[in-house]
Structure 1
Amino acid sequence: MANEQVVKSVDILWDGLLNSLKTWQQFQTEVGEKTLQAFNYQKDLIESTVTTFNTIEEESKKASKEMQEKVQSSVKEVISNDQFEQFSKWITNVQEITDKSQELVSIPSRSILDIVVQTNNHLESTVKTALAEQQQQRLEVIGKIEELTEELKKTQKGLFAV
């Protein structure tokens, strides 16, 4: 009876240790999943920023074009055709300069956004690879620990059975 109690105590001790390790492994897996969720949130934020930037750029070009058309329409009513042709060329040149200026102003912002997207994608890929490798290693280690635990249980039971 006392011998049976000792055997049960050995099983409880090793099973408790093994379950603690499995719980720790599950916790690490959940932390990895939360990390990947954070990357998804970050990716959504970056995509939203890029979309907003593109929308602002398009709306700016559209507003500039509309202003050019309104100015030309207003001026056309008050000046002669020869003068309007010269004015139209001038306004077109001003519009080209404006468009080029907007493009030059947006290049650094677009470059920064591109770098942020690339960096985030690279970092996410690296983290995914690392997490997959860690998960594989944890599974292998837990498998080995389970085997070792069973061997230790048998050995200790054999010692107490004598």
Structure 2
Amino acid sequence: METESFIETPLGIAQIRGSKEGISSISILNEKEPANLSDKVPDELKTAVKQLQEYFKGKRTEFDFNVNPSGTDFQKKVWKELLQIPFGKTCSYMDIAKKLGDPKCIRAAASANGKNPLWIVVPCHRVIGSNGELTGYAGGLWRKKWLLDHENPVKQQSLF
């Protein structure tokens, strides 16, 4: 049986769903606060909640809890490729299509990217347009920009 929990993030309320088989979805909500926001986190979601909180505090760059997303075989292949994008780096939709072995599947890869059910954990926010532009993001481009800045902040160096 799936359970759910909600956490506050700098980008809004995140909903985490899963069961003892793993986390099935993590999504960002557009509402300010869900009706059932609670401090009680079901046992099967505690590790995911903790790791997401660490990510937002800048103390985690990888996730190691069990995931169990639903999707087609092709979508799962795309999501597996997304997991190969290192923290603080980006790639293009064309790069993903080429890694899948078929540059012509760029639109299908982009569509699968957009259906990613594991926000942040499967880092679809790290995929940008071939021209370097931020493109399509279900959570809004402002969130994508925030996540990319969070993962690769411009470090100012003092001249003195």
Q: Give the structure with higher Rg (CA).
A: 1
TM range (shorter): under 0.3
Structure having greater relative contact order (Cα 8 Å, sep ≥ 6): 1
